[in-house]
Amino acid sequence: MTKQEAVAEKLLQIGAVQLRPEQPFTWASGWKSPIYCDNRKILSFPFVRDFIKSEMCNVIFEHYPEPDLLAGVATAGIAWGAMAADQLKLPFIYVRPKPKEHGLSNQVEGYFEPKQKTVVIEDLISTGKSSLQVVQVLKDQGLEVVGLVSIFSYGFDEAERNFAKAGIQYRSLCDYSTLINIGLQKGKIRSEAETLLLQWRINPATWQGV
């Protein structure tokens, strides 16, 4: 079993990812989706949490070997960024969706210095737009963003285009295709639902399910 498959197995095991092609979920964007990913649930399972944290650190170490700083995306990326920073003995900051409306009006919380090589920590990538907004905030603060690491990615073509256009490399511990394969192997998905699930990934904005 590959590392991505091991991550997918654990996400399905604890119900952090739910697959429901016959009864689609509705996202905040209005998109219909056969999958719902709630990585916050991982935090409630200590052994899975420790496994995901270690895998995240391994990816950072392998692909971005000498970062100066980790930056978590609020809110879901804060816990993972802080845990990874603790294990790797790196400084940690986090980025708010917008500047605080009182006090110092900070959008980036924590201490940092210009030109520090920074890895952004995110829990989930869909189109990549919100993650890249955070990247831009960090760049505007004078930081050098060397990459982004997330727990899960839907693998949308739009995300690939957005990250390529921004010149930012990203890595995910697990992706949608791997999850589908493991779901089939473990009996979480019926074989007849596979086509429906794969169709959604190709054109998620217009997919309506069965």
Gap between the terminal Cα atoms of the chain: 32
Residue 208, in any domain of the structure: no
Alpha carbons 19 and 26: distance in angstroms, whole number: 13
What's the pLDDT tens digit per position in 6-61? Answer: 999 999 999 999 888 888 998 888 888 999 999 999 999 999 999 999 999 999 99
pLDDT at 101: 61
Q: Which residues contact 204 (CB under 8 A, 6 or more apart)?
A: 31, 33, 154, 156
What's the pLDDT tens digit per position in 112-136? Answer: 999 999 999 999 999 999 999 999 9
Residue 210, in any domain of the structure: no
How many domains, in total, are found in the chain? Answer: 1
**Is residue 96 a contact partner of residue 106, using CB atoms and an 8 Å limit?**
yes
Residue 171, in any domain of the structure: yes
pLDDT band at 165 (very low <50, low <70, confident <90, very high): very high
Residue 103, in any domain of the structure: yes
pLDDT at 163: 97
Instruction: Report cis status (omega within 30 of 0) of the bond before 75.
Output: yes
Residue 207, in any domain of the structure: no
Residue 34, in any domain of the structure: yes
Task: State pTM to two decimals.
Answer: 0.93
Residue 58, in any domain of the structure: yes
Instruction: For residue 65, give the CATH number of its domain.
Output: 3.40.50.2020
Report the DSSP beta bridge partners of residue 117. Answer: 144
Residue 95, in any domain of the structure: yes
